[in-house]
Chain A
């Protein structure tokens, strides 16, 4: 099973002929992802190591049967690429691009409402279902197949926690990077709901950080809707207010969005929070061991 991407995924890479798109598109294919098409306007008819390139996403759907898109186009054009992918009625659109203006994401979010498409990102490392498919830039070799779902606002911090899990002999069903921007396509809540419904996933690690109130909303959802155990980690306990800590969304505004407030909200609902990546992995191992 796993969520979002698996052996049935038929991927189109928007921006496959660019250097990053090519590198990661081919890397994803070597992990077993079925990369059926690329899209670069004006380069239709070309090939990238056997992958056909089309001018439009609609062509990639019509002629190659693509059902999932990975957006790897530069920030000023990424919003347009997302609209195009959504309009082509793909089931999932995963946007890796960093630096998409937040107002574009506001509009896209209104646009996709009710269209039945799942948008992940932007500014995210992508989605990996170990042993099945990898869509994005997550280094698959760090992870192994297993039953722990992992959802995170960060890239490398996810790798760190995944690595600690692997060291303890634990594997993952799917790793989802939802992105570090203020407005992202899918929130913790959306992904937690998918993990709750996924038979392969037995427990979930949620890796949050300062800024916004998504971790707090997730805490309410976990208490009300989830039967599977969730362990959380929050980065940024020592971040000063008013400073953007790398991710555009990682900012404490006034008294809102602190790591402590998120930890308190989670613990008040019985969700355990690790204070370091190592402790977080140990909490997961404890739960796995006790099952």
Chain B
């Protein structure tokens, strides 16, 4: 789960990482009040879960409360790469002397947490890695041993930070970032930029924070931070129903069981010339109600013109799926063509159930490839 900048900063604050004072606003009046309360020059920042906010005009400096309100009315409702801005973070402006970069992430290959630090902050880290790899310091941490002061010293000295005051502050932030990373079950904690102010104070000016969905059961406070309003409404509905759903931009609704098979089905629909409307994984169980729930989510998308069910029964029983399909079509009065391909556990029984049904929009195919082709034809 990705957190907004202000949510990540709240966690930083809890763990003792210095951040600027700020307030949340959802209206121009709210932004004005926030600017008044903070006083002086403020920055009005769009809170969206996507990069490139600054370039898109979603971050603006305001020298007065009126100006903050004016910026807020421009930014609220703005579309930033497909994300609509509904929240603003109004923050005390900082006088920046230097911009650094610090992050802690999962190195999936080494199977260890990985620190990355560079004094070339403020830009895309992949760009730094590509253009000046020597400026990027990388350091693994053994998760059983944890983070020690020497880790921080290595980062700071290898990164070329020369001012002793800065060295000390950054070292403290390194230790606290590790605590935050472990303490919140984070997959990524990124501070870009980590600024040094004109007064020599080191502070996190931005935050990119991702928490492991599998660990949310032990962080109820973070689980509550999920931004329902800023998410795709279909994905929210899917989460409520316990269906794994990702919205795509085509016409062929795709429903499979298991993440790998469903991804593969989306690919095959594309390869035979179609455009998938979604990725929808029924999961391991796949009882009749699960099918109904999934179909409800898929057909809520008005772009969907046909649906391809690709089921390979393992734990999932094909007869259950077949009953679910019939139940859903009747209950919901679906009129989109539905192509069903069943294989694996109880597939024959499933095919028999579908064969006996007399629904004009129900089609069956015996292979994944033929099913995909048929669904694409029917969406045309």
Cβ contact within 8 Å between A183 and B368: no
> Is A196 in the interface zone, CB < 8 Å from B?
no
Given contacts A160-B368, A213-B109, contact A103 B260 (CB under 8 A): no
Within 8 Å of chain A (Cβ to Cβ): is B169? no
Residues of B within 8 A of A152 (CB): 260
Choice from B264, B271, B279, B313 contacting A157 with Cβ under 8 Å: B264
- Assess whether B314 is in contact with A138, with CB atoms less than 8 Å apart: yes
Expressed in whole angstroms, the Cα–Cα distance for A245 and B108 within the complex equals: 17
Would B314 and A137 count as touching, CB distance under 8 A? Answer: yes
A22 contacts B by Cβ under 8 Å: no
Complex formed: what's the CA distance from A63 to B314 in Å? 33
* Distance (whole angstroms) from the CB of A229 to the closest CB of chain B: 22
> Given A102, A107, A207, A238, which contacts B266 in the complex, CB threshold below 8 Å?
A238
Task: Label chain B's interface by main secondary structure.
Answer: mixed
Q: Evaluate contact between A103 and B143: CB separation under 8 angstroms.
A: yes
User: Of residues 103 to 158 in B, which have CB atoms within 8 Å of A's CB atoms?
Assistant: 106, 108-109, 111-113, 126, 142-144
- The residues of B that contact A235 with a CB separation of less than 8 Å are 260-261, 263-264, 267
Query: Out of B218, B248, B261, B344, which one reaches A154, CB within 8 Å?
Result: B261
Partner-binding segment picked from B67-75, B159-167, B208-216: B208-216
Q: Is the CB of B263 within 8 A of A209?
A: yes
In the bound complex, residues from chain A placing their C-beta under 8 Å from that of B264 are 157, 160, 233, 235, 276-277
The answer to whether B276 has its CB under 8 Å from any CB of chain A is yes
Closest Cβ–Cβ distance, residue B216 to chain A (whole Å): 9
Which single residue of chain A is at the shortest CB-CB distance from B144?
Answer: A110
A278 adjacent to B344 (CB under 8 Å): no
Interface-lining segment among A48-56, A248-256, A283-291: A248-256
Count of chain A to chain B residue pairs whose CB atoms are closer than 8 Å in the complex: 173
B345: Cβ under 8 A from any A Cβ: yes
The DSSP consensus for interface residues of chain A is loop
Task: Kindly state the interface size class of chain B when it binds its partner.
Answer: 35 or more
Q: Is the pair A276, B144 in contact by a Cβ cutoff of 8 Å?
A: no
Q: Given that A142-B344, A163-B343, A235-B264 are contacting pairs, would A214 and B109 also be in contact in the complex, using a CB cutoff of 8 Å? A: yes
Tell me the minimal C-beta distance from B79 to chain A in angstroms.
17
The 0/1 profile, CB within 8 Å of B marked 1, for residues 205-219 of chain A is 001011111100100
Which of A109, A138, A239, A275 is within 8 Å of B279, CB to CB? A239
The complex places the Cα of A276 from the Cα of B373 at a distance, in Å, of 13
B219 CB → nearest A CB, Å: 10
Query: Chain A, 153-171, contact with B by CB distance < 8 Å: what is the 0/1 string?
Result: 1111111100100000000
Q: Are B111 and A111 in contact (CB under 8 A)?
A: no
The answer to whether B113 and A106 have CB atoms under 8 Å apart is yes
| Residue in chain A with minimal CB distance to B213 | A248
- In the complex, the chain B residue whose C-beta lies closest to that of A255 is B126
Q: How far is the CA of A81 from the CA of B82 in the complex (A)?
A: 43
Q: How far is the CB of A261 from chain B (nearest CB, A)?
A: 13
Query: Assuming A160-B368, A163-B312, A183-B106, is B143 touching A110 (CB within 8 A)?
Result: yes
Given contacts A139-B313, A246-B258, contact A210 B263 (CB under 8 A): yes
Q: Which residues of A line the B interface, CB within 8 A? A: 75-76, 98-103, 105-107, 109-111, 125, 137-139, 142, 152-160, 163, 180-183, 207, 209-214, 217, 233, 235-240, 242-250, 254-255, 259, 275-278
11 additional A-B pairs beyond A214-B108, A238-B248, beta carbons within 8 Å, are A101-B214, A109-B111, A125-B314, A142-B344, A155-B261, A156-B257, A183-B106, A217-B109, A236-B267, A276-B268, A278-B368
**B residues adjacent to A (C-beta < 8 A):** 50, 106, 108-109, 111-113, 126, 142-144, 182, 185, 187, 212-215, 217-218, 244, 246, 248, 256-264, 266-268, 270-271, 276, 279, 281, 284, 312-316, 343-345, 367-369
CB<8 Å pairs between A and B, sample of 5: A106-B143, A214-B109, A235-B263, A238-B270, A276-B267
